[in-house]
Structure 1
Amino acid sequence: MKAWIGAAFAVAMALPAWADVAPMGDDGLYKEPWMRDTFKDLREDLAEANAEGRRLVLFVEQRGCIYCHKMHEEVFSLPDVAEYIEENFFVVQINLHGDTEITDFDGESLSEKAATRKWRVLFTPNIIFLPEEVPEGAAAIDAAVAVMPGAFSKGTTLDMFTWVEEKRYELDNGEDFQRYHARRIQERDDGNFD
């Protein structure tokens, strides 16, 4: 019995401190404290984000997604990442297979699952970054300034959020996200290509 307790303690001590994952909602999706519960009228969400001086971002996730779990466990739970997102972004979570009604920027009202099909989202997580102004009649995916499809490590994730927040997609300096990210890796000089 003592050996079992000792082994359990050793395993618990080996887990990283950031292994805490946000609570899960009734829909089976992780609910970070910085996610917004809205009526999912994207025009209203954009107006509210702008009023707060934040950027609107859509997190498309699904129940049972191991890559979503990985992002919530290993990236979004890190204090510096969570703080950066909370301070700079207005996050609306979208369920890939959900039935909650969304009103897209073009005025079309449809279920989450129909909207994600319209936006050509095939897998999760998929993070869609929106500009501060969306052209009239544009759908969310057509207005997006960047899309982050898939699970990435802390460095890549934070670099993408920073690149969008700093509006580097507008700069005519020849530094697209890949060049920006490569430069940030060198500046961090951590030897990891994350």
Structure 2
Amino acid sequence: MGFAPTPVKAAAKLGDDGLYQMDWYLESFLDLSEDLAGATSKGKRLAIMWGLKGCPACKRMHEVHLMDPKIESYVRDNFEVLHLNHIGSRAVTDFDGRKLTEKALGEAYGIRFTPTIQFLPDKIDGLTGKSGQAREVARMPGLLEPSEFLAMFRYVREKGYEALSFPDWLRKQA
């Protein structure tokens, strides 16, 4: 009689920078064009997650939302998640080739609080001609309840933004 292996649940780990990390988050050279191309080549979408040391909502997102196997597997299977520090000093290369610190990049994209998740298009075409928030297809400003959190990722994956605002798409799903 054999034993089936016990599924290993993902665990959020607190990094040296004070940000929570999942072992499946994107390992990146912090070049957004490369990260978008890499996600697209894997059939995934790129999401930039902004966090901050000591952020209670960031902690809840990692300990509640991303510990839900349904949410965690959907996000992991369909998205490359790049986790950036809202006040960080690492150099990030933006789509126009400019190198900015994480903090300066967040300011350029109008990131005001954490967590904020930016969802980018599946193609790089036209992104260099746009700036900041105009490059996004959707944004999750703050932490939604778990069911809406998952719905936002589905909205982006299913390209609901092409026809409806997120609240209208969500009502249509109900």
- TM-score with structure 2 setting the length: 0.89
Does structure 1 residue 128 correspond to structure 2 residue 152? Answer: no
- Deviant stretches of 4+, over 4 Å: none
Kindly report the root-mean-square deviation, in angstroms, between the aligned alpha carbons of the 2 structures: 1.4
Q: Give 1:21 deviation, angstroms.
A: 5.6
Q: Give 1:177 deviation, angstroms.
A: 1.3
Separation in 2, partners of 1:73, 1:62: 15
Separation in 1, partners of 2:150, 2:115: 15
Measured against aligned partners, the alpha-carbon deviations of 1:99-139 in whole angstroms (never above 9, x if no partner) come to: 00000111110100010011111100000000012313334
- Aligned residue in 2 for 1:159: 151
The size of the alignment, in residue pairs, is 163
- Aligned residue in 2 for 1:138: 130
- Aligned residue in 2 for 1:53: 43
State the structure with more CA Rg: 1
Separation in 1, partners of 2:11, 2:41: 30
- TM-score with structure 1 setting the length: 0.80
Q: Give 1:183 deviation, angstroms.
A: 3.5
- Aligned residue in 2 for 1:69: 59
Amino acid aligned to 1:132: D
Identity %: 39
- Aligned residue in 2 for 1:81: 71
Q: Give 1:31 deviation, angstroms.
A: 0.5
Specify which of 88, 96, 110 is matched with residue 100 of structure 2.
110
Asked whether the equivalents of residues 50 and 83 of structure 2 are also in contact (C-alpha less than 8 Å), the reply is yes
Q: SS of 1:169's equivalent?
A: helix
* Structure 1 gap segments, 5+ residues each: 1-19, 187-194
Separation in 1, partners of 2:116, 2:63: 16
Asked whether the equivalents of residues 97 and 113 of structure 1 are also in contact (C-alpha less than 8 Å), the reply is yes
Measured against aligned partners, the alpha-carbon deviations of 1:3-31 in whole angstroms (never above 9, x if no partner) come to: xxxxxxxxxxxxxxxxx961111110001
Q: Give 1:140 deviation, angstroms.
A: 4.9
* Structure 2 gap segments, 5+ residues each: 1-9
Q: Which has the higher contact order (CA 8 A, sep 6+)?
A: 2
Q: Give 1:154 deviation, angstroms.
A: 1.1
Separation in 2, partners of 1:44, 1:161: 21
- Aligned residue in 2 for 1:9: none
Separation in 2, partners of 1:140, 1:22: 29
